[in-house]
């Protein structure tokens, strides 16, 4: 194309936040000789006041092209098209007058993003907005000064519904879950079966799906096959529940997550840019998520220390994990292997034991051969 990266451009003290764009024909098109993109850190949950949006547009009409992207795939407010001379002025107005900051770009922590969480959703298992804000405040240096092998993304889903799709779109995915039993309102279940309540909160009311069939739409669609309906009572074998929340989504007035809530942490999702797309792998089955979120931060920092030591240039953490094994990651973060870590059962029969787990490697072969003749 006619766009080239003509060198590093940014604001003083920051290594990220501005993506340089230059036209390769500046004499013919002087108005777009520079067309830099500025990423702005979006607020938690993407809640805005009209004043904030008006002030942002005023800045961009004056100092940029006026074109915006609300929002980029990472989550940032994206301001498209400005000249190098305007960058420090834009940065000053954003930070001093609007009390906001640039987002992430380059080989650093990208701007964290999360769902609305407990601010709007009754099924959120932890406060996604509080965690998102805390991580942004804690890791300012990692956000603005590239030091990683490649980019690193946080995304926070309040429940397994995955409204920000963190399991497929982020290197470090925190998905709300629960330990205790799913709460059941048997009278509300009967109301769904009887047609008093519309399934899926009425989301498909515009289509003629026919009468709600709890067996076909809930029981038979359970991936753990742990739900039973005997015509008058719904029962759930919670030990075999995989927390997919399909049943809760279909009958939200009848079913609710358990009361002992927290989150699962997954690692390694990415888009197919270099080495093919990759879904995140479970690394921590359950962790409490309460302010000041030390349990989550501890996992993050152990992974970063390992990845910065072992990761190759432009290698996402998921690719490093795939190259060096999930077992290595579990050793790094200090988590015992668990059946829930198995992604593809029976695909790989090899188990690699540590020396301390089997005694020692230096056992005399003569003793073995006495018991096992050739």
Q: What is the pLDDT of residues 32-90, one digit of tens each?
A: 999 999 999 999 999 999 999 999 999 999 999 999 999 888 889 999 999 999 999 99
Q: What is the pLDDT of residues 327-355, one digit of tens each?
A: 899 999 999 988 888 877 777 666 677 77
pLDDT at 339: 85
pLDDT at 350: 65
How far is Cα 199 from Cα 193, in angstroms, rounded to an integer? Answer: 9
pTM: 0.89
How far is Cα 250 from Cα 265, in angstroms, rounded to an integer? Answer: 25
pLDDT at 7: 66
Q: What is the pLDDT of residues 134-148, one digit of tens each?
A: 999 999 999 999 999
CA 88: distance to chain centroid?
31
Q: What value does the mean pLDDT take over residues 218-227?
A: 96
Least Cα distance to 48 among 15, 71, 81, 73 occurs for 71
pLDDT at 341: 87
DSSP line for 270-327: B-SSSS--B--EEEEEEE---TT-HHHHHHHHHHHHHHHHHPPTT--HHHHHHHH-HH
pLDDT at 374: 64
- pLDDT higher than 60, residue 188: yes
- pLDDT higher than 60, residue 6: no
Q: Domains, the chain, ranges and CATH? A: 18-98 (3.30.70.2500), 109-179+262-341 (3.30.413.10), 183-256 (3.30.70.20)
pLDDT at 262: 97
């Amino acid at each position: 194309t006619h766009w080239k990266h003509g060198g590093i451009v940014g604001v003083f003290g920051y290594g990220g936040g501005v993506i340089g764009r230059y036209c390769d024909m500046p004499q013919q098109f002087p108005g777009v000789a520079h067309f830099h993109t500025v990423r702005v850190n979006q607020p938690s949950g993407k809640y805005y006041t009209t004043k904030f949006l008006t002030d942002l547009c005023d800045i961009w009409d004056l100092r940029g092209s006026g074109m915006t992207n609300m929002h980029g795939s990472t989550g940032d407010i994206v301001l498209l098209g400005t000249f190098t001379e305007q960058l420090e002025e834009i940065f000053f107005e954003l930070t001093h007058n609007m009390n906001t900051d640039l987002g992430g770009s380059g080989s650093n922590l990208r701007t964290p993003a999360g769902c609305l969480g407990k601010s709007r959703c009754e099924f959120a298992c932890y406060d996604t907005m509080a965690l998102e804000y805390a991580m942004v405040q804690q890791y300012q240096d990692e956000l603005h000064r590239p030091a990683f092998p490649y980019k690193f993304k946080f995304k926070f889903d309040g429940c397994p519904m995955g409204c920000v799709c963190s399991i497929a779109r982020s290197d470090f995915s925190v998905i709300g879950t629960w330990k205790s039993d799913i709460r059941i309102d048997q009278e509300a279940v009967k109301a769904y079966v009887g047609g008093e309540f519309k399934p899926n909160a009425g989301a498909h009311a515009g289509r003629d799906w026919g009468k709600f069939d709890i067996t076909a739409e809930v029981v038979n669609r359970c991936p753990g096959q742990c739900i039973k309906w005997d015509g008058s009572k719904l029962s759930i074998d919670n030990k075999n529940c995989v927390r997919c929340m399909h049943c809760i989504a279909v009958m939200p007035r009848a079913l609710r997550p358990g009361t002992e809530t927290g989150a699962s942490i997954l690692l390694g999702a990415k888009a197919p840019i270099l080495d093919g797309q990759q879904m995140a792998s479970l690394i921590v089955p359950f962790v409490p998520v309460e302010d000041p979120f030390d349990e989550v931060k501890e996992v993050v920092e152990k992974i970063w220390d390992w990845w910065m030591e072992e990761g190759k240039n432009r290698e996402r953490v998921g690719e490093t994990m795939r190259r060096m094994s999930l077992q290595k990651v579990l050793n790094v973060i200090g988590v015992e292997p668990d059946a829930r870590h198995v992604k593809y059962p029976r695909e790989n029969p090899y188990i690699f034991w540590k020396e301390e787990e089997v005694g020692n490697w230096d056992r005399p072969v003569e003793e073995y051969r006495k018991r096992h003749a050739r």
